[in-house]
Amino acid sequence: MIGIWEEFLKIVSQEAGSHVVNTWLNAVSFSHWDSLEKIVYLKAPNNFVQEWIKSNYLPLFQSHLSRLFSVDSVKIVFIDGSYEAQIASESKSSTSTEIDIIPAVANPEFLPAKKMMVSRVQNRNPINKNYHFENFVVGPSNQLAYAAAHAVTEKIGRLYNPLFIYGGSGLGKTHLLHAIGNEIRRNYSNVEILYQTADRFVNEFINAIRFDKVPQFKSRYKDLDVLLIDDVQFISNKEQTQEAFFHIFNMLYDNHKQIVFSSDTDPAGINGLADRLRSRFEWGLVTDIQSPTLETKIAIIKHKASLHDQELSEEVMHYVASRSFSNIRELEGSLIRISAFAALTNQPITVDLVRKVLAKNKETKKTAVDFKSIIKALQRHYHYSLADLRSTGRGKQLSLARQVAMYLMKKLTNKSLQEIGTFLGRKDHTTVLHALQKVELGLKEDKTFYQHVNQLEQEILS
Ligand code: ADP
Ligand code: MG
């Protein structure tokens, strides 16, 4: 059992960064595993560590330990300190994305007089209750996708199967997938729905292989009625995962279970996708979402403003919509900034104010990018400190993080290769040059990596 705990630490280290393990999880010790009750008993040195772990890492514990112990869900009980955390998965019934804390039934054997808390965490990605059909604004750019998604909820597995929705980032694909899930939950009681991003599918599959649990992994899908796979392009170039997915697809399809995919391109555009899978993606209905028209943007602005009881003049709405937002996520972000600025400075929202806020945003984009903000963004994603990046460590992840740092520094600041090298503790600029070449090649060849770097860039610029 200790072996499993070590495995768990390794996975966390890869997924959340070694600092999480070094700082927090190494402080915890594994006590024992109760296979009957499916409880993992842990000891924490003090309340602080315990609370921190409870509030930050419960989902990691839940998803990985349940898999490692080959059970649907595990309970985690801390047997030291004055609180015990118990994690119970609601693998079937939950529609909630929150972690509810409710009083637990005590486990008298280990926890005689102690106060105990139970946290319920869903084992799989939950369906987001905020995304419905009702708050999805329909226009020419998305009406087909909307109609198809809606139709799926009326004739589950019978009409468009699979339904494949593709389009650029921030155009509402995830929103529609969750809307399907919510609508089906509202209309039917005993329907098993799973929403999952494809990269999560990939990760879970890799772990299943590692621990020889592929049959268990596959069997988790067999009772589903609806499978919603978001960002399916993430399975590009992952041969073995595609193979597993192919079988899951066939099993569900043959039983008339509904499958819905979203992707950033059409099936033909997904690199390294096995032909037989590509053809299956095309079996049902393939539909796209395009960038919204001006009218749709205005309708979306109206909708979002009314949600926040924000009054906007026609002129302002028109002005905001006419600015070149490439996607709805950006549009939403700008609306929030505009209304926050107006509220904070106590000014009415006029075209002038909007212009100022949006221009200001652009300006800061140009000037405020410095090494520090790049390092900060990297830390959020890779969990390496500046010292790690400057070290001579050559671990795969660390080298990658360092190369991405160099690439972003070159791209987003006007510093020289030499300055970048020096900042990252490199003696000469050839290392930086080499990093740039590697990253650029990666961007060309690996779509997932491209999206990842792109996202980092957006975060740094926003
Ligand atoms: P994608 O998955 O395509 O990248 P999302 O579904 O995450 O995009 O959408 C980004 C944001 O824009 C979400 O907050 C979503 O609610 C909102 N959004 C997208 N399309 C619409 C729409 N047609 N009506 C209302 N909100 C939308
Ligand atoms: Mg999405």
- pLDDT tens digit sequence for 243-278: 999 999 999 999 999 999 999 999 999 989 999 999
Report which protein residue has its CA nearest ligand 1's atom 20.
172
d(CA 450, CA 461): 16
More confident residue, 109 or 336: 336
Query: d(Cα 54, Cα 119) in Å, to the nearest integer?
Result: 8
Please report the pLDDT score of residue 95 as a whole number: 30
174 lines ligand 1 (CB under 6 A): yes
Of 116-125, 235-244, 416-425, highest mean pLDDT:
235-244
Q: Whose CA is nearest to atom 26 of ligand 1?
A: 136
Ligand nearest to the CA of 229: 2
Residue 16's pLDDT band (cuts 50, 70, 90): confident
Atom 14 of ligand 1: nearest residue by CA position: 329
Q: Contact, 164 vs 261, CB < 8 A?
A: yes
Identify the pLDDT of residue 81.
38
**pLDDT at residue 118 tops 50:** no
Judge whether residue 323 has pLDDT over 90: no
**Higher local confidence (pLDDT), 162 or 447:** 162
Distance from the alpha carbon of residue 173 to the mean position of ligand 2, in angstroms? 5
Residue partners of 421: CB distance under 8 A and separation at least 6: 406, 427, 428, 429, 431, 432
The C-alpha atoms of residue 302 and residue 309 are separated, in whole angstroms, by 10
Looking at ligand 1, which residue's alpha carbon is closest to its atom 19?
Answer: 172
Q: Are 405 and 438 within 8 A, CB to CB?
A: no
Tell me what the mean pLDDT of segment 5-33 comes to.
Answer: 80
Q: Taking 90 as the threshold, does the pLDDT of residue 104 lie above it?
A: no
Task: Report pLDDT for 368.
Answer: 58
Ligand 1: nearest atom to the Cα of 262: 2
pLDDT confidence of residue 455: 86
Q: What is the mean pLDDT of residues 235-241?
A: 89
Cβ 329 under 6 angstroms from ligand 1: yes
Atom of ligand 1 nearest to the CA of 136: 24
* pLDDT (0 to 100) of residue 74: 87
Section 136-151 average pLDDT: 96
Is the CB of 137 within 6 Å of ligand 1? Answer: yes
- 370, 462 Cβ separation under 8 angstroms: no
Share the mean pLDDT of the chain. 82
> Best mutation site among 164, 197, 265, 328 for ligand 1, i.e. most ligand atoms within 8 A of its Cβ?
328
C-alpha dist (Å) from residue 323 to 169, 300, 314, 383, 403: 18, 14, 14, 35, 34
DSSP strand pairing (115-121 vs 100-103) = antiparallel
Task: Choose from 25-29, 38-42, 45-49 the range with maximum mean pLDDT.
Answer: 38-42
pLDDT at position 2 is 61
Mean pLDDT of 57-84: 75
173 lines ligand 1 (CB under 6 A): yes
* Best of 132, 169, 175, 458 for a ligand 1 pocket test (most atoms within 8 Å of beta carbon): 175
Q: What is the mean pLDDT of residues 442-453?
A: 86
pLDDT (average), residues 359-385: 76
Ligand (nearest to CA of 135): 1
Q: Percent of the chain at pLDDT above 90? A: 40
Q: Return the ligand number nearest the Cα of 136.
A: 1
pLDDT for 290 beyond 50: yes
Q: Where does the pLDDT of residue 1 fall: very low under 50, low under 70, confident under 90, or very high at 90 and above?
A: low
pTM for the full predicted model? 0.59
Q: What is the pLDDT of residue 361?
A: 59
Q: Write out pLDDT tens, residues 394-446.
A: 899 999 999 999 999 988 887 788 888 888 988 777 888 889 889 988 888 88
For 298-314, write each residue's pLDDT tens digit.
Answer: 999 999 888 877 889 99
Report the percent of the chain where pLDDT is more than 70.
87
| Digit-coded pLDDT (tens) for 209-230 | 888 888 999 999 999 999 999 9
Q: How far is CA 355 from CA 294, 320, 341, 379, 394, in A?
A: 18, 9, 12, 33, 47
pLDDT confidence bin for 85, thresholds 50/70/90: very low
Greatest mean pLDDT among 366-370, 399-403, 417-421, 450-454: 399-403
